């Protein structure tokens, strides 16, 4: 048991580092320099309640994001490995399955064939090793939800606990299902519109660019679909939040972004009705701003200026370091091989 716990801890810590590396690479693919991408992701990860909950309680959500990010980044180079990465992610949680319409919409039929083949191989392999109880339990538990905690930032939880604490008789299933259905359809609409308008990838019209444009909005499906959203689930929204931030120009929208970001990623965890649902309000605000960005695409001038100055600063620093290293090497050579003074003939 101790060995299994240690192994899970090590995998969890490695997934945190891989999330930073893969996330920075994806952000750099979306028009930002690698320097700015790394800085923004570092700031987002240093103080982040969902990441803290994932690392402390050893959750699989960071590993899930690693598989998703790797699958997206590898799509252009190796479709089979990309599909395998998504299949491994779907084995952890079903979220990657909701991304399949993007590949169907972009007519990536070979990738879909690889995905279903690798997913079936994973299912057969795990069934042979440990039986089919893992999948049977998952199917049996669908729809069997306990009373959600106050810290669960979902519409279903809000409705259930409103009836519980205020004594109302709201039709929970009807309202929850209706809201979810509308949000799911809206997210797929945003996804397809993002592909058409090349919101996050503007450089080239390649297949991988279309996949990135389509998947970024669909990361919001995890808090939308699940009836119980724990805080650690919201790590899936870190990359979309950063991409949203760099595409907002108006101070008014940046102010609303700050509110949504704080409630989603910085708000402490507590059980206090109705204030616990500020996190629900937070990711809903981010979703609303994402809708605005996709429907009104613009590349803010301040991001280009900041990125340019940062690249210039890094270039100057590297140049100074190279000069300093050259001087240090030259001084060491002089010290190791001092010049001999010429002999002076005595008269």
Q: Return the residue matching tokens 């979902």.
A: 154
Q: Mean pLDDT, to the nearest integer, of 204-220?
A: 85
Q: Which of 56, 106, 77 is nearest to 207 (CA)?
A: 106
Taking 50 as the threshold, does the pLDDT of residue 294 lie above it? yes
Q: Return the residue matching tokens 């409630």.
A: 263
Q: Mean pLDDT, to the nearest integer, of 192-221?
A: 86
- Segment among 64-78, 191-205, 272-286 with least mean pLDDT: 191-205
Reported for 18-23, long-range contacts at CB under 8 A and 24+ positions apart, including other chains, are: 18/66, 19/45, 19/62, 19/65, 19/66, 19/69, 19/235, 20/45, 22/65, 22/66, 22/69, 22/70, 22/73, 23/65, 23/69, 23/238, 23/239
The rounded distance, in Å, linking the Cα atoms of 28 and 330 is 37
Percent of the chain scored above 90 by pLDDT? 58
pLDDT digits (tens, 9 = 90+) for 145-173: 666 778 888 888 899 999 998 999 999 98
Taking 60 as the threshold, does the pLDDT of residue 340 lie above it? no
Taking 50 as the threshold, does the pLDDT of residue 218 lie above it? yes
pLDDT digits (tens, 9 = 90+) for 115-125: 999 999 999 99
The rounded distance, in Å, linking the Cα atoms of 257 and 248 is 9
Q: What is the dihedral of CA 194, 197, 201, 202, to 10 degrees?
A: -170
pLDDT digits (tens, 9 = 90+) for 65-98: 999 999 999 998 899 999 999 999 999 999 999 9
Chain mean pLDDT for the chain: 88
Tell me phi and psi for residue 95, to 5 degrees: -55, -45
DSSP 65: H
């Amino acid at each position: 048991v101790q060995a299994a716990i240690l192994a899970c801890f090590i995998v969890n810590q490695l997934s945190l580092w891989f999330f930073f590396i893969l996330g920075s690479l994806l952000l750099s693919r979306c028009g930002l320099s690698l320097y700015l991408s790394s800085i923004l992701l570092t700031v987002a990860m240093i103080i982040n309640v969902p990441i803290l909950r994932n690392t402390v309680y050893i959750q699989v959500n960071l590993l899930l994001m690693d598989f998703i990010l790797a699958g997206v980044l590898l799509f252009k180079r190796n479709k089979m490995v990309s599909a395998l990465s998504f299949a491994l992610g779907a084995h952890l949680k079903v979220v990657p399955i909701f991304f399949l319409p993007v590949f169907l919409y972009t007519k990536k039929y070979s990738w879909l064939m690889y995905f279903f083949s690798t997913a079936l191989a994973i299912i057969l392999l795990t069934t042979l090793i440990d039986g089919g109880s893992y999948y049977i339990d998952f199917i049996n538990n669908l729809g069997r939800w306990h009373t959600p905690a106050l810290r669960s930032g979902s519409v279903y939880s809000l409705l259930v606990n409103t009836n519980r604490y205020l004594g109302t008789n709201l039709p929970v299933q009807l309202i929850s299902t209706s809201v979810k259905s509308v949000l799911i359809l809206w997210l797929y609409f945003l996804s397809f519109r993002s592909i058409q308008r090349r919101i996050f990838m503007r450089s080239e019209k390649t297949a991988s660019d279309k996949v990135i444009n389509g998947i970024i909005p669909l990361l919001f499906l995890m808090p939308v679909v699940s009836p119980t959203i724990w805080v650690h689930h919201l790590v899936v929204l870190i990359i979309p939040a950063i991409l949203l931030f760099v595409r907002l120009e108006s101070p008014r929208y940046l102010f609303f972004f700050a509110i949504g970001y704080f409630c989603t990623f910085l708000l402490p965890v507590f059980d206090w009705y109705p204030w616990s649902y500020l996190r629900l309000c937070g990711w809903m605000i981010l979703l609303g701003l994402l809708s605005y960005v996709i429907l009104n695409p613009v590349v803010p001038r301040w991001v280009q200026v900041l990125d340019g100055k940062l690249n210039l600063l890094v270039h100057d620093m590297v140049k100074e370091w190279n000069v300093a290293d050259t001087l240090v090497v030259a001084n060491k050579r002089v010290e190791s091989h001092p010049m001999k003074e010429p002999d002076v003939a005595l008269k």
